[in-house]
Amino acid sequence: MTMSPYEDYQVDDTPSLQGSSRQVVPPHEREGRCLVIDLDSRSWRIDPIASPLLEVCAGGRLLALALYEKYVRDTATVTARYEQGNPMVFACGMITGYEYMDGGFSVVTRSPVTRRISVAYSDTAFGRFLRFCSYDALVLSGRLHRSSVIVIDEKGVSFMYADKYYEATTAAMDDALGACANVTVLSIGAAGEHGVACASLVCQAQSIGRGGLGAVMGLKNIKAISISARPSTAEDGVRIPAADRKAFTANFQRLRRRIRLNPVCRALARYGSAVEVTDSVSTGTVSINNFTYSADPRLRYLGGQEQLRLHGQVRYTIFSRLLPDIASPASQNEPGFSEAIMLGSHQGIFDPDIVRSLLAVCVEQGMDPVSAGGMLGWVRHGMEAGAFHDAPFISAGESFVVFAARLLRDIALCKNRAIGFAGGIDAAAQAYGHKEFAFSVRGLELGPYDIRSARGQALVDMTGYGGSFMAGVIQPALQRGSVNKTAAWVVHDESVRYGCETMGLDPCFGAQIYYWGRRGASGRISASLGTFKLLHAPFLGIRMMAHRFMPGFISSIVGHDVSYARVLLLGRRARRIQERLDKRLNGSDDDCTAADFSPYFSIIPTENGSWHDVLSIRPLRDAYRRMRHVYDAVDTIDGEREPDAF
């Protein structure tokens, strides 16, 4: 037996409802409910979500975008009143809150960094507790006149002033608000209160969102949001029963048996998400020293195996929950793949304890580890090049590790010597120079990626919506194809990722399922695991196996048919709404402006590295636009026609 860090009930081999468990009315048996909090007047109301809207938007990313479009005000484009017209929308995924599922939620707002719509996904307990209170979405509109904490429960909403919590860490907020099995807390740190560009939301020691989501919450004077469900223990869980519990139980057992057959799933359960670092050691595809690449044997010290040896725990993944008998104890205190790269090898640091301490600083201060690591990498490279001698943030005699921890705290607290970092890496490079190593797109620091998926990742970053090119990581051979093939995969990848987030499925988990459907060696994996039926798309140049196990599994939970084709449809709808919102707020729908991205996406080799490429962005951009046009031309899937609004 193991306890999931996200759950409030025991993980058994067979999911079961205890006789004393309080069962929330399932979403499929009631009308949708959106909790709208007017911060200006400190009032709240419950707006119904009509059944037709839920049928079209389902939940998660798509529902959050649709609700944002409904509640956004024109003042969201006015800098002086930005936070008042810019709502924050939280929406539960379709399967969020159902028994034995780690369903997540999506949060949508307009980023003060990119000035575009920013969407973040998280599988922490915040979304599940929101649904346990019988809400499917939460909208925060306007701005509080004084820093406050919002407390939500089944009875409604209350406010309390948070002056005494000024610059308090996120861990301190968890303690102050009593975060436990019955209470979940989403908060910001000092970075959010000071409006720092890399400020993020934090829930259960996990940073959520990039592009200044924490800064938006700080501008609204919200220090934290606490959601309380009725008392529950390991024996008395708060959960929502599946629509067809008999079919769900049988399918869940089947899913677990099939996942157990795959060595990658077993490794993720045993060693956590950082096991991907170790898998990349021999190929030299991990970023070392600010986007240089080389095989380095020291990378193994940042992997999940070393975390388990040193600390007896690893970074949590959904496979830790699905395979509890082989899973190691899981914790959010351990770095995952992105944190290990951006705060570790990206800085030339290979001591896992140091990376762990830097991650703790980021989480406590409410900072996005990827953006923080991008800024630290730029500073380190500049220091090695002999720059920044007179910069105010440099202190003589400090080791880089001590310097990095101090700089992160100074950035979060907006101290004078680090004030130039408040606007992000572009603002810092403009103030202190050395722009050639400040890798960013529209002010958002580049995140880590597998070098083998560089072309696809360049396109994903160029769109400005962020995320990992999942297909390129799981099937690196895709990168050897033509530019058109790469662009086609990116377009398809977006629909898969956005569809997963709408369902409430972790996109990485979904990708493991979807992209294992290819013929050949991965086809054997697919035969054992089962995948959604993939929409036939000849322009992708591939054929996928058509297993129908997962649609049946999801359908047994939510009570209606959910084909893989529908997942793609939901993903496309989410993308169209996001584009429409960006056009409305920015006056332009061009998501591939060359001016927003370096004309060349350059991978810089080290002295002992042999891999080097300079990717021209223009042909990739043009191919991407063509493939988007082809993909969006498909307006019917399984007989369902796209509504005109989408």
- Residues of the domain holding 629: 475-641
CA 463/CA 478 separation, integer angstroms = 20
pLDDT per residue as tens digits for the range 206-256: 999 999 999 999 999 999 999 998 755 554 456 788 888 888 888 888 878
Q: Is residue 627 part of a domain?
A: yes
- What is the CA angle 312-314-318, rounded to 5? 140
The pLDDT score that the predictor gives to residue 637 is: 47
Q: How many residues does the chain have?
A: 646
The pLDDT score that the predictor gives to residue 148 is: 97
pTM recorded for the entire structure: 0.88
Question: Are residues 494 and 585 part of one domain?
Answer: yes
Residue 516's SS3 state is helix
Q: Is residue 268 part of a domain?
A: yes
Burial of 371 (0-12, 13-18, 19+ CB in 10 A): buried
Q: Is residue 28 part of a domain?
A: no
CATH code of the domain in which 157 resides: 3.60.9.10
Tokens 């970075």 identify what position? 191
Question: Are residues 221 and 163 part of one domain?
Answer: yes
Question: Are residues 268 and 163 part of one domain?
Answer: no
- For the chain, residues with pLDDT lower than 70 are 1-24, 28, 79-80, 231-238, 279-284, 450-454, 462-481, 510-550, 588-617, 633-646
| Residue pair 229/238 in contact by the 8 Å Cβ criterion | yes
- State how many domains the chain has: 3
The pLDDT score that the predictor gives to residue 337 is: 87
CA 31/CA 26 separation, integer angstroms = 10
The pLDDT score that the predictor gives to residue 229 is: 83
Tokens 């002056």 identify what position? 163
Question: Are residues 264 and 142 part of one domain?
Answer: no
Question: Are residues 564 and 481 part of one domain?
Answer: yes
Q: Which two tokens stand for residue 127?
A: 């979304």
Nearby residues of 42 by Cβ (< 8 Å), 6 or more positions away: 144, 159
Question: Are residues 177 and 268 part of one domain?
Answer: no
Cα 187 to the center of its chain, rounded Å: 16
